[in-house]
Structure 1
């Protein structure tokens, strides 16, 4: 009886070992509609695989799966200096899409890291060439400039840059206070300017009216009659001399 138990246990152990080895040597993978697979056989590029289920020997074949949908790479809190030596933190989002997955494997050890570093360099290049006021006023221009630099970079192979968006510009507490005071002063100056313009327009209107009355005395009488007709409950004393 003991011999039978040991024999069964040995068979189960051998079967489990064989199953383990098979799982290690043979692997199945499913590639979805939005993905592509890059197949290498004995170290050589074989083909690009479309959607479907595939089984392969791991000892001789390598499969890398890439998501072909647009993706977002975010750079958070990049501390940079403007051309007028003001420190600022910028958060940036870059939308990109893989075009050639085989090129990514051939050219990069880590394509995302390569893209991340390139975006950092391009953003630093753009920010260091402008002053703080231009940075705050022309966010859209910064987006376009950084994107154009990335598109023109010949070292970026296998994917396209679709958009660049500056998400946030963070200033120090001191700078925030200074810019708040500047904005407040500008608003007050605009308010005073509008008030002065209104007063100037009123004075100009009164001057034109006075000139018209001087040249046409009868207009003053007509205006007086209109005032009397429009008035109710008031007493008017008119000197006819």
Structure 2
């Protein structure tokens, strides 16, 4: 009997709306909430209930329904100008993946939660970059991601949201700064090349010094080396002076 009464009341309400025409459309409104959404219903300015998936008809002068998408979303920050620890200006693009956990808290705590989140990410990014030099910034993207995410997760003012990931997409330098860094990289490569060359020359000199010392302590080694040279030589004639203990080389032709 109760279900029948509700159906009759609904039918009567629909008939009244259809009968009122344009006036009825302003007084009553329908809302469809999908499976991935939640609705927050307020009646006379007070929270009434959370609405699940379905279609709802409500009286607009006293009731409002706000619908929130509960799927993960991405907030983009493009071309944010920040200063490094060494006072170098740089532009960065950042993507923050988040998900709504409590839509009622978002309505209660923020006038515009997306704007608040945007500002929070800006401040956290500046805080992280201002503590790092340019060399460290360019070499540690993942460190920037982790530190910004950590600051957002620890921020107690971000209520009703879950920060899932932070991704630094791009670091943009001015033309002069790019040129300067290119010169630094070139200078480092040249310095490494010279260092390797010096190491090679040092190793060669050390080897020669060790050989000279061995020959000085063992003169017979020089003769053995000389005999090996004669054996491997082709097309040459060697004259051995036994009295003077010397060897002369002449052309085979």
Which category of TM-score, normalised to the shorter sequence, fits these structures? 0.7 to 0.9
Pick closer, same or farther for the CA change 1:17–1:240 going to 2, 3 Å.
farther
- In the TM superposition, residue 155 of structure 1 has moved relative to its aligned partner by 0.8
Does residue 248 of structure 2 align to residue 220 of structure 1?
no
Does residue 65 of structure 2 align to residue 63 of structure 1?
yes
Pick the aligned partner of 1:151 from 153, 168, 185: 153
Which stretch shows the higher mean deviation, 153-162 or 17-26? 17-26
- Partner Cα separation in structure 2 for residue 219 and residue 207 of structure 1: 19
- In the TM superposition, residue 28 of structure 1 has moved relative to its aligned partner by 2.6
Structure 2 counterpart of 1:237: 237
How big is each residue's C-alpha offset from its partner over 1:140-175, in whole Å with a ceiling of 9 and x where there is no partner? Answer: 222222211111111110001112222222222222
Which stretch shows the higher mean deviation, 157-166 or 135-144? 135-144
Contact 1:213–1:219, Cα closer than 8 Å, also in 2: no
- Partner Cα separation in structure 1 for residue 197 and residue 22 of structure 2: 86
- In the TM superposition, residue 211 of structure 1 has moved relative to its aligned partner by 5.5
- In the TM superposition, residue 104 of structure 1 has moved relative to its aligned partner by 0.2
- Partner Cα separation in structure 2 for residue 55 and residue 225 of structure 1: 109
Contact 2:18–2:24, Cα closer than 8 Å, also in 1: no
Contact 1:80–1:124, Cα closer than 8 Å, also in 2: yes
- Partner Cα separation in structure 1 for residue 150 and residue 235 of structure 2: 78
Structure 2 unmatched ranges of 5 or more: 1-16, 242-253
- In the TM superposition, residue 176 of structure 1 has moved relative to its aligned partner by 1.7
How big is each residue's C-alpha offset from its partner over 1:186-211, in whole Å with a ceiling of 9 and x where there is no partner? Answer: 11111111222233334444555555
- In the TM superposition, residue 70 of structure 1 has moved relative to its aligned partner by 1.4
Contact 2:33–2:55, Cα closer than 8 Å, also in 1: yes
Pick closer, same or farther for the CA change 1:239–1:53 going to 2, 3 Å.
farther
Larger Rg: 2
Pick the aligned partner of 2:36 from 25, 34, 37: 34
Bigger RCO (CA 8 Å, 6+ sep): 1
Contact 2:29–2:60, Cα closer than 8 Å, also in 1: yes
Pick the aligned partner of 1:201 from 191, 200, 203: 203
Structure 1 unmatched ranges of 5 or more: 1-14, 229-233
- Partner Cα separation in structure 1 for residue 158 and residue 149 of structure 2: 12
Structure 2 counterpart of 1:171: 173
What is the root-mean-square deviation in Å for CA atoms of aligned residues? Answer: 2.6
Structure 1 counterpart of 2:112: 110
* Matched ranges for 1:119-198 at <5 A: 119-198=121-200
Structure 2 counterpart of 1:51: 53
- Partner Cα separation in structure 2 for residue 100 and residue 204 of structure 1: 73
Q: Secondary structure at the match of 1:93?
A: strand
Pick closer, same or farther for the CA change 1:219–1:23 going to 2, 3 Å.
farther
Pick the aligned partner of 1:23 from 5, 25, 28: 25
Q: Secondary structure at the match of 1:126?
A: helix
Q: How many residues align?
A: 222
Normalised to the residue count of structure 2, the TM-score between the two structures is 0.76
